[in-house]
Structure 1
Amino acid sequence: MQQAELLLPEGVPEIGYVDVVVDVSSMLTPLTYFYDPLSAEIPIFGGRYAVPLNSRNEQGWVVDISPPAPPQPTRLRPLGRQISVGPPPVVVEVCIAAAKLWSCSPAPFLKAASPKRNIRPIDLDWAAISRPEGSDGVAEAMFGRGGSQIWEAPNYDEIGWVNSAFVHYRAHNRSVIVAMPNESRISVLHSELRRLGVPVLEYPRDYLAIAHGRHPAVILGARSALLAPSVGVGAIVVFDSVDPSMREQAYPHWEAWRLAELRAGVECCELLLVGAAPAVETLNSSLVVRHPELSRYRGGWSRIETVSMVEELDSDPLSRIGRYRDLGRRISSESVATPDFDLVVVHNAKGFSSQLLCAKCGSLQRCEACNGVVSAVGERPLEMVLSRVESLRRKVVPARLTCGTCGLQRPVVCQVCGSQRIRPISSGVDRLGPTVEGILGEKVAVVAKGSEPTTEDQIRVVVGTEAALLRSITSSVVVFLEFDRWVHSVSVDRLQRSLYQIARASKSVSMAAGVVYLQMRDGSDLLYEAMRDRNLRQLYRTELDQRMSLGLPPYRYFARVTGRRVAEMHELSEVLAADLPHELFDIDEKTTLISAASETELAEVVLLTAARVSSLKYEMFPRNL
């Protein structure tokens, strides 16, 4: 262990020692502090304390308490005052195991597992809390010991899964932890469970009630609920583990399903990963993949239509938007239950491109003199024109096209076909919303990450990124303008992310028996067949075969390393390769990928490297290589 610097006081008869994880991300190992057991209370395992570090105070968690021992000739500093009670011992064990897997300090996990408000030891004493009566033995699992990946249809019943798990484990006096994405979906599930009479506690809001655990309950929350302070867990249920919100966006980028697998192993409880688009890594792991009966699976899909923009000789993704709007209005009027919206247009892009495209022939607009990129300028200087419809709607009349290289100007006419339908090669949802408003002649809501859902009843059309589908909204028609953005992205998880979006869209239109349209320019035959047959298994088999041939997860695992000292890793790598086989791939001067055959080997290589080469940033299991 590292040791904080200060000489021990003289004349102290006995000294106790504690290991503390300090809330500093660069400190991968605990620091050792001392306390006087004669003049101070024995520190609480997992408790949060103020600790001196250099010239300042930081918070830290006690992760090991050694018995009192004679003072040693070392340089230590005293443990400070207690701030609050921390997580229980079983959760601390999970946090330490997670830190080893993600090659980081346990501090981010301990912080997520700690109460948001300070709790006094008199209000919560872990030593006095025991497992609920009747929960000491091994409970009979729903599907057998270990973990299961439940491959459900998109329109599966989340409430039914949670209620069934709770009823099963309530007989063994155990609670069920449920982690799912998005606050709106959590709120809906919470309300429905309460309506059924199921006791529900939300993490972290009901921290004390979860900790005392007097009666079995459903512990519900986002990904951090996997660290809830329950001491009698029968099962952990994770919904839609491939949702973007189920992966921590900040360092150390931990994923919910991996953390759930760790806790299930520590707690010896059952793990259920439920979703319509499972993570590819889970299909080649120790988890047992379980499928519903094929007819029931296919019946859980809504109608999916693929539209080839190439076959229809149409390069304008908005050319069919009026037809989609009329169809959505008709389906909503005929539906027994009125959906929230008639039409949801999904375009997973923000911002604006200055490159202009002819909407009729699809040619890129260039300068005749120098072949440079031209831009449209309206009556107001330097205002870019998105499309003819939007420019007229905003009272911006495009007067000319100007080359940014040589300054040559020409009328707003395509140099190939003579059409005046000139538009940007791509537009984000912020600019796409007004364009759709101009086409449809009605107000449109724009939804992106972080935006608030609309509450206006008269708005029946939504334009948004994937964030629009991640919420609990219903619609009659969902349209993906350019689905190729998901299929052909460079992300490792492009398949599961794209299929997850289709599954969310299918569930969104299920209430009104609506339709999902996938507009594509370069479609995949396998995708067409999968949507026609309503069966994704062949797509996943093909993806696993490709990953095996390319050496990608789950057959090899990667960590991205960035920093100015990545060159020093090569010498160290030669030393470590004898005991821990791995490979290095240089991306640029400051970025390197470490590859190993297993998660544990990769974590060991990264931990040894971090201990010897400082000032480097690590990302385990990156989504983009």
Structure 2
Amino acid sequence: MPAASIARVLVDSPLPQLDRLFDYQVPAELQSAAAPGCRVRVPLRSAGRIADGFIVELVDTIEYSGALSEIDAVVSPVPVLTDEVYQLARRVADRAAGGASDVLRIAVPKRQVRVEKAWAASEPTVGSPFEPVDIPEYDAAILDGIIVQAGRAVMEAIPRTVEVGGQWLGHWALTMARVAARALAAGPVILVVPDYRDQEQLENALRTILPPDRILRLDARQSSADRYRAHLLCLDGVARVIVGNRSAVYAPAKDPSLIMVWDDGDPLLAEPLAPYVHSRDAALVRQEQQGCALIFLGHARTTEVERLVQLGWCSPLSPTTRYLPRVIPTAQQVADDPLAARARIPSNAWREAKAALEHGPVLFQVARPGYAPRLVCESCGQVARCQRCNGPLGLKRARSSPSCSWCGAIAAQWRCAHCSANRYRLQGQGATRTAEDLGRAFPGVPVIVSDGERPIVTVPDRPALVIATRGAEPVAAGGYRVVVLLDGERMLARESLRVGEDCLRWWSNAISLAAAGAPTVLVGVGGSLAGALATWQLADYSRDELADRRRLRFPPAVRVASVTGDPESLTRAIRSVEGLDGVDVLGPVDTAAGTLRAIVRFDFARGSEVAGTLRSELIRNASSRRKRVPSTGAPARLPTLRVRFDDLEPFEQLEGTL
């Protein structure tokens, strides 16, 4: 048998029983094209069909002595799947009891033939020279040590804006760009940000430091051709700064020197598809596998990152000079003044905003978009509900028909399910209604609304009222002259395990957009959150929050997995892990879909064992035969067992129910 004539192939299939390497004979006519990492098509004997896959490795011999099926075709000789990315996909999939092919669908874009041919015909590229940059706000020697020694750090961002190349950006973007440029001399750099707003700021900062050919964008918003072109450019060995959203952590960069993640608490960094791997976890695994540096950058720490700091796994890194924003809590004023308690915007916020509008823009952060987030029955006061899905009704615009916040259905002829009345009243104020009220209060001042439907990235340095939902705040040239954080009590009323740290992140990110010395008014919020913001000791709140989670045995003090299925399969899965040390089970309880769900809690040291055991149950459930019901001829019942690791949904209350 010729050398390296056997290919070990990972089949692209969501079936858990196919999540392993299959051996195929490489025909003589395909041996010149077959290489590790290339796309192939292979037969599946049991299914009687042809499937796509990747060659993971070529071997000389195997233990199996029977005849092997042959590879049907080599789709492309380009090795688009590097061994580093495959090992990463395999590791994070095993950690989450998922399939490696599910991860690779995110990591490797679909093939674009024209792009691939143009890339293959192009001349090898050599990156333009660049000069390392200084990072005056941080200790450069410590940063260089982290990069050279492949260390892990949690970096505190500076809460202010800065002008770079004629554009105003969050200082975090400039910091990230400078650190990336400093690390680029040692190899490729991967920068991961939550969304396009952050990405645009970061790219603008990078362009002022590095040549254009050293910056590579790789994200899901690109066209299929552009994303595949960027993926191929990662393979040419040129040290580049790769910028993108959550999928960029899987970029096929050869021997990266640094992975850097901005604002890891943003839910956009959590993959919504199975196996639901968070970019933070993928970055931690890749750093350990490839021996590169890893830095988490943010204004506020998540409890997950705080846990890593307390374990000594990550080192805290703060600016050499402390930057203390001016935050004014109003909780005491509201408590002392009955009239202030009924007002949405207290008097001192009005005064600060009125004075600041003579000089520049003022930001009002609100909790919800639309006109009125909630409607209630005028007769009985019950929340108005959708007749289709029972979701809460709201108004997106003034004088519009109410619509469901969950399914979007229009409720033109709504009647209360409790008293049959057909009149409702508004409850709460969304961004549009707030803009309408503020426009009347400040006549002649331009009003700008920024939310999910009307995204605005920047605003000029002119007097204006900017009303933005959390996370949609534009960057103001010169910074906002005043920032007013409204609806704090409403945000904190959301039943969620992460509500405190989420609010801390939303508010600290908004505070960082204020001009130097400009005040931020925090309306109606007191206690530890207000104290952390007023003193800018945000890490103290994360430390106390993690201590509470440890006492309650809640994540991230422990890991969790939600297991959902029919009674028989769920019982079998739960029994398989109940005997393991450090494992306890909550439930099962009924779900809205008519199945049962249980929560498995376990120590981090037991993660591999629990994941492997539950993965075995998934395979058993998916591969067991299900016969048709003879009397009805109904089709075989599909597998129902589902497992999701690090799932916080059971600890959350849907925001739409508030």
Asked whether the 8 Å contact 1:583–1:594 carries over to 2, the reply is: yes
How far apart are the structure 2 equivalents of 1:28 and 1:436?
Answer: 59
Q: Which of 509, 512, 519 is 2:523 aligned to?
A: 519
For 1:313, the equivalent position in structure 2 comes to 338
Asked whether the 8 Å contact 2:150–2:293 carries over to 1, the reply is: yes
Q: Secondary structure at the match of 1:490?
A: coil
Structure 1 residues 559 and 486: CA distance shift in structure 2, 3 A: farther
2:96 is equivalent to residue 102 of structure 1: yes
Q: Which of 235, 246, 257 is 2:280 aligned to?
A: 257
Structure 1 residues 200 and 15: CA distance shift in structure 2, 3 A: closer
**Could you tell me the percent identity over the aligned residues?**
18
How far apart are the structure 2 equivalents of 1:560 and 1:609?
Answer: 14
For 2:365, the equivalent position in structure 1 comes to 345
For 2:172, the equivalent position in structure 1 comes to 158
**Structure possessing the higher radius of gyration over alpha carbons:** 1
Q: Secondary structure at the match of 2:243?
A: strand
2:108 is equivalent to residue 114 of structure 1: yes
For 1:237, the equivalent position in structure 2 comes to 260
Specify every segment of 5 or more residues in structure 1 that has no aligned partner in the other structure, as ranges: 1-10, 131-138, 357-364, 376-383, 393-401, 413-421
Q: Secondary structure at the match of 1:449?
A: coil
Q: Which of 292, 314, 322 is 1:288 aligned to?
A: 314
| Greater mean alpha carbon deviation, residues 554-563 or residues 76-85 | 76-85
For 1:193, the equivalent position in structure 2 comes to 206
2:478 is equivalent to residue 452 of structure 1: no
- Structure 1 length as normaliser, TM-score? 0.75
Q: Which of 533, 536, 553 is 2:535 aligned to?
A: 533
For 1:590, the equivalent position in structure 2 comes to 596
Q: Secondary structure at the match of 2:375?
A: coil
For 1:466, the equivalent position in structure 2 comes to 470
Asked whether the 8 Å contact 1:306–1:528 carries over to 2, the reply is: no
- Give a deviation string over 1:32-88, Cα, whole Å, max 9, x none: 252333121353222233445536654332334333569854785744331464232
Q: Which of 288, 303, 308 is 2:327 aligned to?
A: 303
Q: Which of 35, 49, 71 is 1:44 aligned to?
A: 35
- The residue type paired with residue 600 of structure 1 is S
How far apart are the structure 2 equivalents of 1:581 and 1:36?
Answer: 47
Task: Map residues 427-576 of structure 1 onto 2, 5 A cutoff.
Answer: 427-429=429-431, 433-434=435-436, 436-437=438-439, 440=442, 444-449=447-452, 451-453=454-456, 460-469=464-473, 475-510=480-515, 513-520=517-524, 523-563=525-565, 565-576=566-577
Asked whether the 8 Å contact 2:450–2:472 carries over to 1, the reply is: yes
Task: Map residues 27-38 of structure 1 onto 2, 5 A cutoff.
Answer: 29-30=19-20, 32=22, 34-38=24-28
How far apart are the structure 2 equivalents of 1:247 and 1:477?
Answer: 32
Specify every segment of 5 or more residues in structure 2 that has no aligned partner in the other structure, as ranges: 127-143, 161-169, 220-226, 385-392, 401-414, 623-638, 652-658
Structure 1 residues 329 and 64: CA distance shift in structure 2, 3 A: farther
Task: Map residues 406-425 of structure 1 onto 2, 5 A cutoff.
Answer: 406=419, 424-425=426-427
2:218 is equivalent to residue 203 of structure 1: yes
How many residue pairs get matched? 553
For 2:241, the equivalent position in structure 1 comes to 218
Asked whether the 8 Å contact 2:563–2:570 carries over to 1, the reply is: no
Give, in angstroms, the shift of residue 220 of structure 1. Answer: 1.7
How far apart are the structure 1 equivalents of 2:153 and 2:394?
Answer: 52
- The residue type paired with residue 290 of structure 1 is P
Asked whether the 8 Å contact 2:27–2:71 carries over to 1, the reply is: no
Asked whether the 8 Å contact 2:374–2:383 carries over to 1, the reply is: no
- The residue type paired with residue 216 of structure 2 is L
2:643 is equivalent to residue 622 of structure 1: no
Asked whether the 8 Å contact 1:557–1:602 carries over to 2, the reply is: no
Asked whether the 8 Å contact 1:302–1:507 carries over to 2, the reply is: no
Give, in angstroms, the shift of residue 431 of structure 1. Answer: 5.4
Give, in angstroms, the shift of residue 175 of structure 1. Answer: 2.2
For 2:636, the equivalent position in structure 1 comes to none
How far apart are the structure 2 equivalents of 1:453 and 1:507?
Answer: 17
2:260 is equivalent to residue 247 of structure 1: no
Give, in angstroms, the shift of residue 406 of structure 1. Answer: 4.7
For 1:182, the equivalent position in structure 2 comes to 195
How far apart are the structure 2 equivalents of 1:456 and 1:152?
Answer: 22
Give, in angstroms, the shift of residue 461 of structure 1. Answer: 3.0
Give, in angstroms, the shift of residue 568 of structure 1. Answer: 2.8
Asked whether the 8 Å contact 1:482–1:518 carries over to 2, the reply is: no
Superposition RMSD in Å: 4.2
- The residue type paired with residue 347 of structure 1 is A
| Greater mean alpha carbon deviation, residues 84-93 or residues 258-267 | 84-93
Q: Which of 584, 592, 614 is 1:606 aligned to?
A: 614
Task: Map residues 22-101 of structure 1 onto 2, 5 A cutoff.
Answer: 22-24=12-14, 29-30=19-20, 32=22, 34-41=24-31, 43-52=34-43, 54=47, 57-67=50-60, 72-73=65-66, 76=69, 78-83=71-76, 85-101=79-95
